[in-house]
């Protein structure tokens, strides 16, 4: 089902996302004076580790995960100096929120690298073709990189969105492209391949690499756009406006394997999108996730006193159990889809 390259790419991506998330917790905890007992990458048996300034750093057997264990997470240690529970609400809130914020920052950095070093940004204001996929319908009829699409079925097109919408609207139906090449125009009939109810002929727009500061600006801009897009999609799934389509680790690994074959730039883009998703999911008010801990801290701030640690721990335990069962169900669905 998965080859070695897929597994290696998935481990690197998941490892990077988890490392950055836990690093956010770690850095802010150290900054506000909370003692970090262990910073671990992976779960299970410790492969090797070392200790520095009271913190144990470990690499564990199973690479898909990690944790930052702080003093005071055990209620019996809450009275000790440097304990998480002894710090003001605002400090604890910052520590918990830092994981997701670091995932958003990582996404912005990855997007910036994509625009600066790899793919660049699609020039959608033009109808010039930047890439023709081999063995695609466009490749079969002789369309080449650098061609400009002037019209489709006699209707002029002046931007890439117009080209895409007209091709998508004609799956398995012949369309006629008016193509400009070397100051000459000619028509090319082509039948878009149907996929998911839409037509595709296997072309991509021209991509332009940006200067460093422009790339950084776009990196943060696209990260913010994806954050808004994911929240809107979650709302639409909850309200039933769109069908719920959730992929678990198995499904994501399969996608990583496919994208890894398309180049490092596409893999960075996918990692950025997954990082945004991870950051948002951890902020949801679901027991056992960072979002629920932020809710409890907000309640403590309003009440002026914390909720009973045993009650909070029980709620997190129930939430963790439900999450594990949900992950098993999603993994089963992922495997079922892959086996079809």
Least Cα distance to 35 among 91, 118, 98, 102 occurs for 91
- Catalytic one of 22, 73, 140, 258: 22
Residue 98's alpha-carbon distances to 57, 59, 91, 155, in angstroms, are 19, 22, 11, 51
Strand boundaries in the chain, DSSP class E: 36-52, 55-70, 121-122, 129-132, 148-152, 155-156, 175-181, 184-190, 193-195, 198-200, 203-205, 207-208
- 22 flagged as catalytic: yes
104: its two tokens: 């958003």
Q: Is 312 helix (H, G, I), strand (E, B) or coil?
A: helix
CA-based torsion, 141, 146, 151, 157: positive or negative: positive
Query: For the chain, what is the total number of helices (H) and then of strands (E)?
Result: 9, 12
Active-site positions read 22
């Amino acid at each position: 089902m998965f080859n070695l390259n897929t597994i290696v790419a998935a481990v690197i991506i998941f490892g990077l996302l988890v490392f950055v998330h836990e690093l956010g917790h770690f850095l802010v905890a150290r900054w506000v004076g909370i003692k970090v007992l262990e910073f671990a990458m992976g779960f299970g048996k410790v492969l090797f580790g070392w200790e520095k300034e009271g913190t144990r750093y470990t690499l564990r057997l199973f690479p898909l995960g990690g944790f930052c264990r702080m003093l005071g997470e055990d209620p019996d240690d809450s009275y000790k100096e440097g304990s998480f529970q002894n710090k003001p609400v605002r400090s604890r809130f910052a520590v918990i929120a830092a994981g997701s914020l670091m995932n958003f920052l990582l996404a912005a950095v990855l997007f910036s690298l994509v625009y600066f070093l790899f793919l660049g940004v699609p020039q959608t204001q033009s109808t010039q073709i930047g890439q023709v996929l081999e063995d695609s319908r466009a490749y079969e009829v002789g369309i080449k990189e650098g061609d400009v699409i002037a019209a489709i079925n006699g209707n002029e097109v002046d931007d890439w969105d117009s080209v895409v919408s007209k091709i998508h609207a004609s799956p398995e139906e012949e369309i006629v492209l008016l193509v400009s090449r070397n100051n000459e125009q000619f028509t090319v009939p082509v039948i878009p391949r149907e996929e998911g109810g839409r037509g595709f002929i296997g072309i991509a727009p021209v991509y332009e690499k940006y200067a460093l500061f422009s790339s950084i600006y776009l990196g943060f801009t696209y990260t913010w756009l994806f954050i808004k897009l994911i929240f809107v999609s979650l709302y639409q799934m909850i309200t039933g406006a769109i069908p719920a389509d959730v992929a678990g680790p198995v499904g994501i690994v399969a996608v990583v394997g496919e994208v890894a074959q398309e180049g490092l730039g596409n893999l960075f883009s996918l990692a950025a999108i997954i990082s945004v998703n991870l950051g948002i999911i951890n902020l949801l008010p679901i027991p056992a996730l960072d979002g629920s801990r932020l809710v409890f801290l907000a309640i403590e701030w309003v009440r002026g006193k914390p909720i009973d640690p045993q009650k909070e721990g029980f709620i997190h335990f129930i939430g963790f159990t439900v999450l594990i069962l949900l992950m098993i169900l999603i993994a089963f669905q992922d495997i079922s889809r892959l086996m079809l």
